[in-house]
Amino acid sequence: MWGGGAGGSRAPGNGRTREGGREPGGGGSAAHIRSHKRRTGRLGPTRYDAIARLWPTVGVDLDGRVLDLASLFGRVAPVVLEIGFGMGEATAAMAQAEPEVNLLAVDVHTPGVGALCHLLEVMGLPNVRVAHCDAVLLLRERVAESSLAGVRLFFPDPWPKHKHHKRRLLQAPFVEHVASRLVPGGVLHVATDYLPYAEQVAQDWDAEPLLQRVGFDAPSRMRPERPSTKREGRAQRGASSITHRAEG
């Protein structure tokens, strides 16, 4: 472990893709290399209904305005940003385990957004807000400097082919951007099952002056424990190396 954002009212799925000039969550932005694959899928009636009903309350869009986090969550509490939450099971579990923390979760996968919205209602979790957009744009446009107690990024796409390395999210410019959004003592917590990616991340983070290494047992605003994800389970069954990195 190494140590060192008013909700919108328009439901996701109504905006054009980046190929069409706008991110799914809405709002324009300067061009940048996209670190994620375009992810679409069938949005069943349960997930569609959850988004339609809950988005005015839990949804965050890209509208260019810096978030007032206290107003967004309706209280003053530490805010943790989770980048990439899949179908939301681990996110909901962490939110349930940390009711004292405000959790802002961002992903580009529409069915996953619907699944998480459904879980928030079923489990009665008032401390989660959901953004359906590119995490880079969310950080750049909507999250103020020195405002996050932590950032979580579990099993990001490692883009293993050399020609695709430029698409990796965890590179020096992004790490620097994340570090600027962390409060003093804030934590960047990352897990990956691809050792070469972990090694590249370690080099980038060592070079970032705003971050320093800490152990998992060091005092932190964010718990080091996390639920196992489906991807992690598959990696462990396949004898892959699970490498954890956390900074703040």
Mean pLDDT calculated for residue range 216-224: 54
pLDDT tens-digit series, residues 164-198? 888 888 888 899 999 999 999 898 888 888 888 88
How many Å apart are CA 91 and CA 97, to the nearest integer?
A: 10
Q: Would you say the C-alpha torsion 16, 17, 18, 20 has a positive or negative sign? A: negative
pLDDT at 5: 33
**Sequence letter at residue 154:** F
| Amino acid at residue number 11 | A
* pLDDT attached to residue 35: 54
Angle between helices 172-181 and 135-142 (to 10 degrees): 40
Pick 75 or 159 by higher pLDDT: 75
Averaged pLDDT for residues 17-38? 41
Identified catalytic residue from 49, 63, 157, 204: 157
* Strand residue runs (E) in 86-192: 102-107, 128-132, 148-154, 182-192
Catalytic status, residue 157: yes
pLDDT tier for residue 65 given thresholds of 50, 70 and 90: very high
Residue 123 near residue 92 (C-beta atoms within 8 A): yes
Q: Tell me the pLDDT tens digit for each residue of 120-129.
A: 999 999 999 9
pLDDT at 18: 28
Sequence length of the chain is 248
CB proximity list for 177: less than 8 A, separation 6 or greater? 136, 139, 140
Q: Among 74-78, 96-100, 235-239, name the one with the lowest average pLDDT.
A: 235-239
pLDDT reported for residue 200: 86
pLDDT bin (cut points 50, 70, 90) of residue 159 is confident
pTM of the model: 0.79
Q: Above pLDDT 70, what percent of the chain?
A: 69
Give the amino acid at 106. V
Residue 242 predicted with pLDDT over 60: no
Calpha distance 123→179 (Å, rounded): 32
CB contact set of 78 (below 8 Å; sequence gap of 6+): 100, 101, 102, 149, 150, 221, 222
Angstrom CA distances, 12 to 8, 19, 23, 115, 134, stand at: 10, 16, 10, 13, 12
When pLDDT is averaged across residues 11-26 and rounded to a whole number, the result is 38
Q: Give the integer Cα–Cα distance in Å for 12 and 9.
A: 10
Dump strand ranges (E) for 128-236.
128-132, 148-154, 182-192, 212-213
